[in-house]
Each structure stands twice: as C-alpha cells, then as structure tokens.
Amino acid sequence: MRLGAFELKEPIPELKDPVAFAILRPWIDVNNVGSLVMKELEVQCGAIEFARLRNPGRFFDFSRYRPVLYFDEQGIRRLKIPNTIISYSKNVLQNDFLFLRLLEPHSNSEIYVESILKILKRFNTKRYCLLGSMLDAVPHTKPLIVNGGAFGKEAQADLKRSGALQSKYQGPTTITYLISQKAPEFGIETMVFVVSLPQYIEVEEDYLGKLRLMEILNLLFQIPINKMDYEKAAEQRNLIDQKVERSQELKNIIPQLEALYELRIKRDEDESKVPSLSPEIEEFLWKMMGKDFGGKA
C-alpha cells in the first residue's frame, strides 16, 4: 500500500492514539544523541518497521548520504540505501507509539513533509515529538539544558512540567520543522526537545545527552531509563573532567560558561538580561567545534 511517498507493509497496524517520536539526521543529532534515544525506544518497545520511502533517491543525494555495503547473515554482500524508516509499537495500557527516523531532504522537500503528515494523519496521531541535540555554549559541569517548544494545551503543560526552556532561537533551520508547524492543523499536538551539548566536547555516542532526554521521556511517557546509561554517563563525565584538567584554556572559560548557564536558567521573559560571551571565548569555542580538545572522549 502506498501513502504519499511511502510504501506501507501489510498488514497495516491499527493504532490507539499514537504518540510519534522523531529524530532528524544530520541536523539535530550531534554526538548521535537522537539516534541513541531512538534505538533505546525501539528496543524497549519492540518496534516493528512498517513504512519506508518507496524511492528515497527522489529526496536524498546519495553522494552526501552514502549507501553502505555489508554482508548479511548468509555471507551475501548487500547494499543498504539511506532511507526514512517508520516503525510502531503497541502499548496495552496507554498510547501506542510511532518511531520516525528522518533524514534531511535535499530535494522535493515539500512532498517529503506532506508524506510524513499523511502518515501521522492516517494513524490518528495524538502528538508529534521531535528529539535531538545541538552544540551550545554550556558547561559540562551542570545538568544539560534542554530547549523546547510545544503547540497544544496538553503539550504546553507537559513542556512546562519537563523543565525544558522555551526556545528563543531564530535563524537557519531544517525544512522538516514544517511538520511541527503543520501538524496542529490536523489536530496533532507537537513538541520539540533539543538538548544543549558543550561546544568543546566531541564524542561518538553522548550518553550524558541521551540520559537527559530519557529523563524527560520517563517523566512524560513513563518510558524506563536503562540503568546502564547512568554508568556510561558517569564514565563519560569522568573522562571529560580529565581532559578539561589537562587544558588550562578550558579551565579558564568554564567559570564564565557556568555563570551564563545560571542566568539562562533563571531568566523569565527578558532575554536581554542574559549577557553574551566575550569575543575571545566565542572564538575559542567555535574553533573547538568539529574537533575534540586533545582527542575524543
């Protein structure tokens, strides 16, 4: 069965007021936080794939998202083509779940967005929740800030309950934010949770960021937190502490980042009260982006 640009596998599931969780690569998946969270959700909930784009090359440039060669269990060489994949799981006591692994489209973006909205409408989705991570001028010594947004009375109440800061961002973004903007037209509440990660840290898998988002999902949707994540996050924090201890420059800027952090947490509506970093500190942090200080954690 086709629905928009998607091919759906039979039998088509019947879902109960599903909540849709989405991640977006590569735009808001710094240090693979969104991917880690999505994998955790899919494994915990026993997610079943049921939809993917029929012709992904219509939307993606395969010189930018590279296909991957691999050997299957029978030793046969296969080709994995980048795609947007949608899975589901059933929850007997509460809402069912949809899981959307989105890729930033390179062409036909409006058709891509419309096709995802058709999926959400077809299954009477109650809420669409985008999860991810971005680099920010924050210290690793404080609980990670989560910036968010919500549309819908219940979603706005949950955003407040989560402790996330209302996002004030203006500037370049992803075309897939149209999903969050258009979904309310069809009675679908929307939420966005983006965890802020220190600009001076680069790791392949950021368990501090993952744990922070899982804490919110546990609070709002009663999704259990993997106990191993606490251990991995503590170990990662320890490695970061060691690296900072070896860098006098980082030891000098962290107090300023901590002061800025406290002001951001305490701010209400007047963002003008939050000062900017000094030009020297900003220059240092931007130089750090895309590389780790003294090697990956």
Please determine, for residue 286, whether its predicted confidence score (pLDDT) is greater than 60. no
Kind of pairing, strands 146-151 and 68-71? unpaired
d(CA 210, CA 60): 27
In this structure, what token pair is assigned to residue 225? 């937190």
Q: pLDDT class for 239, splitting at 50, 70, 90?
A: very high
C-alpha pair distances (Å), 92 with each of 85, 179, 208: 24, 27, 31
At 29 the three-state DSSP class reads strand
| Phi, then psi, of 30 in degrees rounded to 5 | -60, 135
Q: Yes or no: say if 212 and 164 are a contact pair by the CB < 8 Å rule.
A: no
Q: Yes or no: say if 158 and 146 are a contact pair by the CB < 8 Å rule.
A: no
Nearest to 193 by CA among 226, 155, 245: 155
In this structure, what token pair is assigned to residue 212? 């922070």
Q: Yes or no: say if 192 and 149 are a contact pair by the CB < 8 Å rule.
A: yes
Please determine, for residue 282, whether its predicted confidence score (pLDDT) is greater than 90. no
Say what percent of the chain tops pLDDT 90.
78
Average pLDDT over residues 249-274: 78
**What are 178-213's pLDDT values in tens digits?**
999 999 999 999 999 999 999 988 899 999 999 999
Q: What is the DSSP string of 49-113?
A: EEEEES-GGGT--TTTS--EEEE-TTS-EEEEPP--EEEEE--SSS--EEEEEEE--SS-HHHHH
**What are 32-82's pLDDT values in tens digits?**
999 999 999 999 999 999 999 999 999 999 999 999 999 999 999 999 999
How long, in residues, is the chain? 297
Residue identified by tokens 């600009």 is 199
Q: Yes or no: say if 17 and 110 are a contact pair by the CB < 8 Å rule.
A: no
At 150 the three-state DSSP class reads strand
Q: pLDDT class for 295, splitting at 50, 70, 90?
A: very low
Residue of 119 and 172 predicted with greater confidence: 119
Task: Supply the pLDDT for residue 285.
Answer: 56
Homologous superfamily assigned to 2-198+206-223: PAC-like subunit (3.40.50.10900)
Nearest to 187 by CA among 96, 121, 122: 121
Residues 6+ apart with CB under 8 A from 206: 30, 31, 32, 33, 36, 133, 197, 236
Q: pLDDT class for 272, splitting at 50, 70, 90?
A: very low
Task: Supply the pLDDT for residue 290.
Answer: 43
Please determine, for residue 275, whether its predicted confidence score (pLDDT) is greater than 50. yes
**What are 79-122's pLDDT values in tens digits?**
999 999 999 999 867 899 999 999 999 999 999 999 999 999 99
**What are 141-170's pLDDT values in tens digits?**
999 999 999 999 999 999 999 999 998 888
d(CA 141, CA 9): 46
- Comparing 63-77, 219-233, 278-292, the range with the smallest average pLDDT is 278-292
d(CA 267, CA 275): 11
